[in-house]
Amino acid sequence: MPSLIYHCTLFFTFFLTFSQLGAKPISNFIKKSELNHKVGIFDHQLCNESCGKFRVSFPFYINNASCGFSNPPLLESFQLTCLNSTSLFLNIDSQNYRVLEFFSDGVLVDFPGFSNTCRPYNDLNSFGFGGNDYFGISNDNVIGLYDCEDSSLCKANCESNDLPDCDKNGNGSGPVCCYPLSDHSVWHIGDEFNVFAKFECRGFSSWVVPRGMNSGKRGVKLEWAIPLNLSKEACDVNGYIVNATTVKHGVRCLCGDGFVGDGYVNGTGCLKCVLTSAFAAASFLALLCLIKRSVKSTAYGSPHKPQFRSTLSFRKSCNTRLFTLNELDEATDGFNEGQKVMDSCGGSVFTGKLKDGSHIAVQRVKCENEKDLMQVLTRVELLSTIMHRNLAHIFGCCIDSGYTPMVVYEFPENRTLEDHLHKEQPDKIGLDWYKRLSIAAQTASLLAFLQHEVSPPVSHQNLKTSSIFLDQDFNVKVACFGMFCSLELYNSEVYDLGVFLLEVVSGSKHPDMPTIALYKTRDGKIEEIIDPLLYYHEQPPFRRDQIDRVADIATRCLLFGGDGKLRMVDVARELVHITRDSIDGGSRRGPAIEETFSNSSLLQMISISPDSIYVP
Ligand SMILES: *[C@@H]1O[C@H](CO)[C@@H](O)[C@H](O)[C@H]1NC(C)=O
Ligand SMILES: *[C@@H]1O[C@H](CO)[C@@H](O)[C@H](O)[C@H]1NC(C)=O
Ligand SMILES: *[C@@H]1O[C@H](CO)[C@@H](O)[C@H](O)[C@H]1NC(C)=O
Ligand SMILES: *[C@@H]1O[C@H](CO)[C@@H](O)[C@H](O)[C@H]1NC(C)=O
Ligand SMILES: *[C@@H]1O[C@H](CO)[C@@H](O)[C@H](O)[C@H]1NC(C)=O
Ligand SMILES: *[C@@H]1O[C@H](CO)[C@@H](O)[C@H](O)[C@H]1NC(C)=O
Ligand SMILES: *[C@@H]1O[C@H](CO)[C@@H](O)[C@H](O)[C@H]1NC(C)=O
Ligand SMILES: *[C@@H]1O[C@H](CO)[C@@H](O)[C@H](O)[C@H]1NC(C)=O
Ligand SMILES: CC(=O)N[C@H]1CO[C@H](CO)[C@@H](O)[C@@H]1O
């Protein structure tokens, strides 16, 4: 029995904790049917009050007073009313506010009087509340404004938020101008919305823009807190107290590093993170811990920056951003087949464009169970800490798609190597030899770097010409890593590179190419498989020699790559030598770079540049 309770608590924590991190909405995670079957088992253990689609969590409650704080004034402040078994209301100063969504640090409510559209300007007064000892109007809110006489209220950094026009019949058209409450030049903490009255607009709408996102949700987010003088012993022993942002003298609890939960001694408390366990329940906890870490870097990484459209550089600095399924669905045009660049065991890869204009590639990975899911997230975490100029940057991932997590990579201008080798180019000019050689050398160098300079070593496991992205200068950005092999070295990486090099040299994806190439090599006719677009016979001798050498490396990879006799670092070294010869036009052929370099100093030469640092 104790073990059942333990599991139940963990699962319960799961639901609360997602939202607890970075103030993401709880409902996003609760509604995933894959996980719903887990809810049942703890129903009798912990408070399970619900109203329509809402599951109420500490410190809020509906009828059962033992589900809230035990202190009477605190208890009363967080009581909700469930009307008609569907709608929840929060009563403040005898005004009822309809609850739209819960956040870990607050609650999203509607302007009184049920309205989905843009409101007449006078309705600003219907929200007659600026804050009390328990609630404050959150800085995360943004006010959309229509047809203002005085546009000094409109803030430029606000416009990148995605706030639709005054909806359907709200007849607002043209760009919405808006004012984020975090600006504090007009509205100050504690003010009511009527401070906006003097700007004489025709209408307004109210939105919250959750941290790390730039699309709004309609409503007003109220931050909640408990007064400091009533907070004694409210936090779990493994939690700590933080000041609220907009509630004067208000505080909340958070869990310390290495713990997950809501932080309150009478809520879920704080559970210890155990990152390595075969247990299903414990890996769920581990999943939370991972997510907590990644969200933390997004949400709290730069506390004083405006929460709105983060600049590209800011976004790059946070390791794993969490995308919503909606965001990716829109970006890829509903995962349209036409946007697919790869279909393989590593998952399907779709290209798309985010609202901010960034081009992305989304790798959809099919998982069977939580263990798989964990593995994918661990791998993404590891990959996103590695910085190397030839590694495609991982923007983040999406986990609200149940057992199909998605990894979001940058997708640079010149698309994939496959596109250049095989797609009909309008001008029929394929990649010239110099570009192909450089792509081969960069790819092998990156793979060697990942095997020798990163701990634990990383292998790609899904090397194909479609997993090589190319930037505007045809520099390699390796992406679309295989997700399911263990972190131990995958022993056919060198063989895979051989197949890859053959495709680069021959321009052909023929599945029997490895066999064909081995026969041609034996017969001394390797030039017969070389891509006609390389005009082998018209090339100067030193270039023909380079092509032969690369074809030779490819066949050696096929012969000796499978059993570890040929190491990636040796292949990378040879390819880099050939590239160097190419630069000085073949005049200094031969052992220009001495074999006396150790593997690591060679790797430094080929891989380490100011932007290639491994951040543990
Ligand atoms: C909540 O738990 C009670 C038992 O304490 C049970 O009767 C009720 O059905 C549960 N409600 C929901 C919505 O699961
Ligand atoms: C109220 O919640 C407590 C758990 O905190 C539970 O033990 C009790 O059964 C609940 N009461 C009702 C009437 O559901
Ligand atoms: C809930 O209330 C709305 C109006 O407030 C009403 O139209 C609806 O029929 C009610 N639903 C139920 C199940 O009573
Ligand atoms: C906008 O819509 C309101 C009602 O929703 C209507 O009274 C008003 O005339 C409309 N204004 C314009 C300019 O269409
Ligand atoms: C606690 O502090 C709040 C505001 O700071 C104050 O209004 C309230 O009276 C205090 N309560 C007690 C019991 O001291
Ligand atoms: C937590 O619950 C216990 C038992 O109901 C109660 O004695 C204690 O005061 C509660 N603590 C808080 C901070 O509400
Ligand atoms: C929290 O607020 C109190 C005053 O209400 C202040 O003394 C304290 O320094 C604040 N703590 C932090 C971490 O800002
Ligand atoms: C160089 O290669 C050897 C043999 O694979 C390996 O044991 C050693 O750790 C490598 N050195 C570095 C610095 O990677
Ligand atoms: C062949 C090809 O598509 N080349 C493009 C690579 O990217 C640069 C920069 O976007 C374009 O100018 C080239 O046309």
Determine the residue type at 612. S
308 forms bridges with which residues in the sheet? none
User: In this structure, what DSSP letter does residue 196 have?
Assistant: G
pLDDT of residue 345: 59
Let me know: does 348 contact 332? Beta carbons within 8 Å: no
Distance CA 393, CA 375 (A): 19
pLDDT of residue 286: 52
Query: Is 43 touching ligand 1 by the criterion CB < 6 Å?
Result: yes
Give residue-wise pLDDT tens across range 527-570. Answer: 899 999 899 999 999 999 999 999 999 988 988 887 777 889 99
CA 240 to centroid of ligand 5, rounded, Å = 21
Label residue 33 by pLDDT band (50, 70, 90).
Answer: very low
CA 166 to centroid of ligand 4, rounded, Å = 11
Label residue 485 by pLDDT band (50, 70, 90).
Answer: low
Distance CA 527, CA 536 (A): 8
Determine the residue type at 148. C
Average pLDDT, integer, range 268-275: 66
Residue 70 alpha carbon, nearest atom of ligand 6: 14
Distance CA 29, CA 400 (A): 7
Query: Is 428 touching ligand 9 by the criterion CB < 6 Å?
Result: no
Distance CA 348, CA 383 (A): 19
Average pLDDT, integer, range 307-336: 61
Determine the residue type at 376. V
Residues 6+ apart with CB under 8 A from 283: 277, 370, 371, 374
CA 568 to centroid of ligand 8, rounded, Å = 12
Q: Which among 40, 25, 16, 55 has a CA at the least distance from the CA of 325?
A: 25
pLDDT of residue 492: 83
Of the listed ranges 1-15, 186-200, 363-377, 408-422, the least confidently predicted one is: 1-15
pLDDT of residue 288: 59
Label residue 44 by pLDDT band (50, 70, 90).
Answer: very low
Q: Which among 17, 13, 548, 21 has a CA at the least distance from the CA of 300?
A: 21
Please state, rounded to an integer, the average pLDDT across all residues of the chain: 75
% pLDDT > 70, the chain: 71
User: In this structure, what DSSP letter does residue 508 have?
Assistant: -
Let me know: does 274 contact 267? Beta carbons within 8 Å: no
pLDDT of residue 7: 32
Ligand nearest to the CA of 449: 8
Q: Which among 544, 556, 546 has a CA at the least distance from the CA of 518?
A: 556
Let me know: does 177 contact 215? Beta carbons within 8 Å: no
Give residue-wise pLDDT tens across range 173-208. Answer: 544 688 999 889 999 999 999 898 888 888 888 888
% pLDDT > 90, the chain: 33
Is the pLDDT confidence value at 460 over 80?
Answer: yes
CA 155 to centroid of ligand 8, rounded, Å = 56
- Which residues, judged by CB distance below 6 Å to any ligand atom, belong to the binding site of ligand 2? 47, 64, 66-67
Half-sphere exposure of 538 (CA within 13 A, CB side): 6
Label residue 606 by pLDDT band (50, 70, 90).
Answer: very low
Q: What is the DSSP string of 448-494?
A: HHHHHTSSS----S---GGGEEE-TT--EEE-----SS-SSPPTTHH
Report which of residues 9 and 145 the model is more confident about: 145
Let me know: does 460 contact 450? Beta carbons within 8 Å: yes
pLDDT of residue 5: 31
Report field, pTM of the whole predicted structure over 0.95: no
Average pLDDT, integer, range 44-48: 57
Tokens 């760009």 label which residue? 175
Mutation to probe ligand 8, out of 599, 606, 608, 614 (largest number of atoms < 8 A from CB): 599
Select 420-613's CATH number: 1.10.10.10, 1.10.510.10, 3.20.10.10, 3.40.50.150. Answer: 1.10.510.10
Determine the residue type at 608. I
Mutation to probe ligand 6, out of 47, 75, 266 (largest number of atoms < 8 A from CB): 266
Q: What is the DSSP string of 301-313?
A: SSTTS-SSS--HH
> What tokens does 129 get?
């509340």
Q: Which among 388, 439, 447 has a CA at the least distance from the CA of 567?
A: 447
CA 247 to centroid of ligand 7, rounded, Å = 12
- Which residues, judged by CB distance below 6 Å to any ligand atom, belong to the binding site of ligand 8? 452, 599-600
pLDDT of residue 374: 75
Surface-to-core class of residue 408, CB atoms within 10 Å of its CB (0-12 exposed, 13-18 middle, 19+ buried): buried
Distance CA 544, CA 97 (A): 77
Give residue-wise pLDDT tens across range 217-266. Answer: 889 999 999 999 999 989 999 899 999 999 999 999 998 877 777 889 88
> What tokens does 542 get?
């030193």
- H or E, element range at 286: helix 280-299
Residue 67 alpha carbon, nearest atom of ligand 2: 5
Label residue 93 by pLDDT band (50, 70, 90).
Answer: confident
Specify whether domain 321-410 bears CATH 3.30.200.20: yes
Is the pLDDT confidence value at 282 over 80?
Answer: no
Tokens 């003010």 label which residue? 191
Domain ranges of the chain: 105-224, 321-410, 420-613
Label residue 298 by pLDDT band (50, 70, 90).
Answer: very low
Give residue-wise pLDDT tens across range 561-598. Answer: 877 778 899 999 999 999 887 655 544 433 333 332 33
Average pLDDT, integer, range 43-53: 69
Give residue-wise pLDDT tens across range 521-530. Answer: 878 888 899 9
